[in-house]
Copies of this chain bind each other. A is one copy, B any other.
Amino acid sequence: VIEVEGVSREYLVGSERVQALREVSFQVAAGQFVAIVGPSGSGKSTLLGILGCMDRPSRGRYRLAGQEVCLLDRDRLAGLRNRQIGFVFQSFHLLPQHTALENVQLPLVYAGTPARERRERALDLLARFGLEQWAAHRPSQLSGGQRQRVAIARALVARPSLLLADEPTGNLDRRTGGELLDLIASLNASGLTALVVTHDPEIAGRAQRILSIRDGELREGEI
C-alpha cells in the first residue's frame, strides 16, 4: 500500500546542503506493523513527514494505494489526511488554546462527523488512554506524557487505515508505553497499517518488520 521510490530530501541552510534522505526505496503491504529505527538525526522524522504529505521529497516518488497522494488538490488531500492517515508528531503539535477533548475531536470536525458522535468517540478514546479526567485541560495544563497521549488519540479518532507515529512513547513510562503498544498491536491485528518511528526496543521487538535509517540511507532489518 506504501511505495517509496528513490526518495531524496535535501535541506538548504544558508549555503550548506543537508542530505536528510538519500535514494530511499521500500514498500509496505497493507496491514503491516513496521518499526523505523536509527540514530538521532538520521532522517526518520523527515521520512515520516513525506509519507504524511507534510513535506515533499527533493527527488523520487511516494505512492499510497497506488496514487501519488501528496499531489492531490487541496481539498482531497485534507480529506485524506484527516480520514485515512493518522499522524503523531514527535513534538505533538496540539492546539494550545483548545482542551484535550477539542484537540482529539479535530479530525472528526473536518470529517463532518455530527457534534454528539464526535464528542462521544473522542471521550471514549481519551478514556482508553486513561485521560478522561483531563479532558477539559489545555495542553499547558497537561504533563508531557499526557500531551503525547492526546496527540496519539487525535491520530486514531477518525479510525484511519494508516498510522504514522513519530516516537509515540518518548515521554511515557514503561507501563503506559506498554499499554499504548498493546493498543497499536490490536488495531494492527484488525487491519491498521502502522509505521512507528521509535527508539524503544520493545516497540521494535513487537513490530513485524524493522527498517533502519542511518545518515539518510534506509536498510531492511536492524543495522
A interface residue numbers (CB < 8 A to B)? 11, 13-14, 16, 18, 37-41, 44-45, 90-91, 134, 136-137, 141-146, 148-149, 166-167, 170-177, 199, 201
Contacts and interface: CB of A to CB of B under 8 A. Distances in A.
B141 A39 contact: no
Contacts of A142: 41
This protein's copies in its complex: 2
A53 to B, nearest CB: 19
10 contacts: A13-B136, A13-B137, A39-B173, A40-B148, A41-B143, A45-B144, A144-B167, A171-B199, A173-B199, A174-B201
A171 B45 CA distance: 11
B11 A144 contact: no
Contacts of A171: 40, 90, 167, 170, 199
Which 6 A-B pairs give the minimum distances between C-beta atoms? A40-B145, A170-B170, A90-B144, A41-B143, A173-B199, A39-B173
Nearest to A177: B199
Nearest to A167: B171
Nearest to A131: B41
Nearest to A143: B41
A140 to B, nearest CB: 10
Contacts of A13: 136-137, 141
